[in-house]
Amino acid sequence: MRTARSRRAENTGFTCGWCHAEVPANTDGHYRNHCPYCLWSLHVDDLPGDRASECRQLMEPVGLVEKSGKGWQVVHRCTACGHRQPNRLVRDGEAPDDLDLVLHLPWL
């Protein structure tokens, strides 16, 4: 089980592997796992939040889904192994996701 301390440690800013933008930590209580400027991600989880994947390759934003209780989610596909993972949008805070980019993704 994760502690509050480990959650804070994992919710940090990062440099995007795709567009190289400096991405701030999320401030809405959820992890930020993709760039708000290009929507690309990194394959770090096998299951949401576990940080157990050894792949560590870039994940392309390929579409949108809507999930009950979580709202719209960007679906990412790993460019190396093909793993797909939906990730909730960041709508508030210092750097919300670029809604124009989100709306250009196809619904899956």
pLDDT of the chain along its 108 residues, tens only? 444 434 445 678 899 999 999 999 888 777 788 999 999 999 998 887 788 899 999 999 999 999 988 889 999 999 999 999 999 898 888 889 999 999 999 999
**What's the start-to-end Cα distance of the chain, in Å?**
32
Domain holding 89, by residue range, is 4-103
Number of domains the chain contains? 1
Find out whether 102 and 64 touch, Cβ atoms under 8 Å: yes
In a domain, 97, yes or no: yes
Angle at CA of residue 105, ends 56 and 96, nearest 5°: 70
Residue with tokens 């401030």: 27
In a domain, 108, yes or no: no
pTM over 0.75: yes
Structure tokens at 41: 């991600």
Residue with tokens 């919710």: 11
In a domain, 63, yes or no: yes
**Residue 19 and residue 16: Cα distance in Å, rounded?**
6
**Residue 62 and residue 86: Cα distance in Å, rounded?**
10
**Residue 21 and residue 36: Cα distance in Å, rounded?**
9
